[in-house]
Amino acid sequence: MPADTNAAGDIFGGWVLSQMDIAAGICAGQRAQSRVVTVALDSMSFIRPVKVGDILGIYTHVCELGRTSMAIHVEAWVRRDRIGLREKVTEGKFKFVSIDKHGNSTPIPHEDELPDYVRDGV
């Protein structure tokens, strides 16, 4: 939306970053089967601007898995002019920790402990 733009008419990078964090959090939460929190943004590259009217798509996958933490690789792509050229605009690596209801880190289940609907997407 126009309220999310800078003076040049590009979408604020912080808005794109927040959308990427939301998508990465969904990916991490599904894999952890628990609540997760963002603990680090290991890398971020803004490749091309996002313009008003672009359709933004965010794609994620788990790229590193530890005992209680994981890294999620995130790419943001746009489709220009609604049906036009598709291009990657941003990518980053977000780190999450799995936590319990008290906010303490908790182990991430092994792949064989996951429900089928989660395992099929891993």
The sheet carrying 55-65 orders its strands as 35-46, 86-99, 69-79, 55-65
Contact 69, 29 (CB under 8 A): no
* pLDDT at site 119: 61
Give per-10-residue mean pLDDT for the chain (122 aa): 85 95 97 97 95 93 97 96 88 98 95 72 56
* pLDDT at site 24: 98
DSSP 2: G
Q: Into how many domains does the chain fold? A: 1
Domain that includes residue 89, residue range: 2-119
* pLDDT at site 122: 53
* pLDDT at site 121: 59
User: What residues pair up with 99 in beta bridges, in sequence order?
Assistant: 35, 105
CATH code: domain of residue 63: 3.10.129.10
